[in-house]
Amino acid sequence: MLANTDAIATVGVRDIAAARTFYGEVLGLEEDSGRSHYPDFLTYRSGAARVQVYQSAYGGTNKATSVTWDLGDRLEAVVAALAAKGVRFEHYDLPGMRQEGDIHVAEGMKAAWLKDPDGNVLNLNGT
């Protein structure tokens, strides 16, 4: 039923102004201002997908990953660029993975995690 329909990542935040700065200026996502007429609801284009960010009293309470980007061989460059903008990456003790700087490495995959200003966990995957 939904197999041929694009999904949209949806992230609740408490501070919509801080989210606009983070998702737009720090992550470099392009806001699709024509998608919403509400000041507390933002839509960003991310490749062929969209990321919706909306103000919620429950924003930042999810402790699991909210959005994942698959960067392939660009992971290291994107992590370095975000670190240069002041992004702090999360470091986890994950079975079967070793840490190389801010990137967790396992056979056949690499990953990095960061948080938005409200504490939503975001994931960057690579090869």
pLDDT in tens, 50-77: 999 999 999 999 999 999 999 999 999 9
As to burial, measured by CB atoms within 10 angstroms (0-12 exposed, 13-18 middle, 19+ buried), residue 33 is exposed
With respect to residue 109, please indicate whether it lies within any of the assigned structural domains: yes
* CB 119, CB 16: distance < 8 Å: no
Two tokens at 111?
């990953």
Tokens 């997908």, residue? 49
Give the tokens for residue 67.
Answer: 């959005």
The CATH number for 22's domain is 3.10.180.10
Per-residue pLDDT of the chain (127 residues; tens, 9 = 90+): 999 998 999 999 999 999 999 999 999 999 997 766 788 999 999 999 999 999 999 999 999 999 999 999 999 999 999 999 999 999 999 999 999 999 999 999 999 999 999 999 999 999 9
Strands (E), 1-127: 8-13, 30-31, 41-46, 49-55, 65-70, 89-90, 98-100, 103-106, 109-115, 121-126
Predicted pLDDT of residue 38: 84
Boundaries of domain holding 15 = 8-126
Task: Tell me if 87 is assigned to some domain.
Answer: yes
Unique residue bearing structure tokens 């999360």 = 90
The pLDDT of residue 33 is 76
Q: Is residue 37 part of a domain?
A: yes
pLDDT at 35: 67
Q: How many domains, in total, are found in the chain?
A: 1
In-domain check, residue 1: no
2 in any annotated domain = no
In a domain, residue 121? The reply is yes
Gap between the Cα atoms of 86 and 28, Å rounded: 14
Q: Is residue 3 part of a domain?
A: no
pTM here? 0.93
Residue 39 lies in a domain: yes
